[in-house]
Each structure stands twice: as C-alpha cells, then as structure tokens.
Amino acid sequence: MATLVTEQARCHVCRAPERRLWAPVDYQPTLESRRVGNFIALERCPACGWLWVLVPWEPYASFPYLVRWDHSLEDWQRLHDLDKGLTLHKWHEAMIVELYGTLDDDGIEAITRHRLRAHGRGPLEQENVALPDLDSLLSEWK
C-alpha cells in the first residue's frame, strides 16, 4: 500500500502505523470518507493516507470502531461486493478482539462503557469470532 507515512514516522492525526485500532473514544481522528457500504465504511487519514475501516456498533450505531486497513481501496470494494460487507464485518470484529490488548486506558474504558450499554451486542461478546483469510479471497481477483 502506498502511504506517506514511513515505518519510522507516526502520523499526528491517526497515529499510524503504530496504532491499528481506535475504540469509541471522543478523540478519534477525523477522517475522510472514501467508500460507504452496508453499515461499514472505508475512510482515509487526510494527513498520511492510511485507510481505516469504520463500523458503528449498536446500540443506535453510536459506538464507532476504526481498524487500520492494510489493503487497497479496490480490495475493500471487492470484498464488500462479494457479500454486501459480511466478510468485512467479520474481519473488523475479529481485529477488534485481536487488537483489544493494544489499547490505552481510555480505549479500554470506552469499550467497557460500550459493553455495559450494548448488553451483549458488542464485538467482544460475540462467539466464534474467526479472522477471515482476506488474502485468499482477494487472490481470486488477481
């Protein structure tokens, strides 16, 4: 993926490449919309160019989580078109579970608040969360 951020530099807006997950905190970065799908969106950091997948979790889609997207915009669109975003939603959820331990105290607190409000409908409460093999799915187009 072409990006303006080098491995040594950290973006002052989205904090990529170090940061890979944003919990629903008040100070999430303001990003630019690139694609909108089925209760899922692909956004771009205006400062560095990294792409982020946004899913607003229930209740009332008021708990947005951002997960850094390391593939292209075209790859996101192909995967979304495959099954109206179902695979991307599964990937997003699995990444939240995987990256939860990397959050700072504010992020963990935000997820705790979400868990209390969601009554079992948050990303950490779901059972059998498996990370889809995006590379295999994408290889069908290459």
Q: What is the pLDDT of residue 51?
A: 98
How far apart (Å, rounded) are the C-alpha atoms in residues 126 and 142?
A: 33
Q: What is the pLDDT of residue 68?
A: 98
Residue 96 has a CB neighbour count (10 Å cut-off) of: 23
Q: What is the pLDDT of residue 1?
A: 47
How far apart (Å, rounded) are the C-alpha atoms in residues 34 and 42?
A: 6
pLDDT tens for each residue of 101-142 = 999 999 999 999 999 999 878 898 877 788 999 999 999 876
Domain positions in the chain: 21-139
Q: What is the pLDDT of residue 5?
A: 47
Q: What is the pLDDT of residue 99?
A: 96
Q: What is the pLDDT of residue 142?
A: 62
Q: Which of the pair, 60 or 87, is modelled with greater confidence? A: 87
66 to 29, 99, 136: CA distances (angstroms): 9, 11, 23
pLDDT tens for each residue of 2-37 = 444 455 589 999 999 999 999 999 999 999 999 999
How far apart (Å, rounded) are the C-alpha atoms in residues 127 and 11?
A: 34
pTM: 0.90
Q: What is the pLDDT of residue 122?
A: 85
Q: What is the pLDDT of residue 102?
A: 96
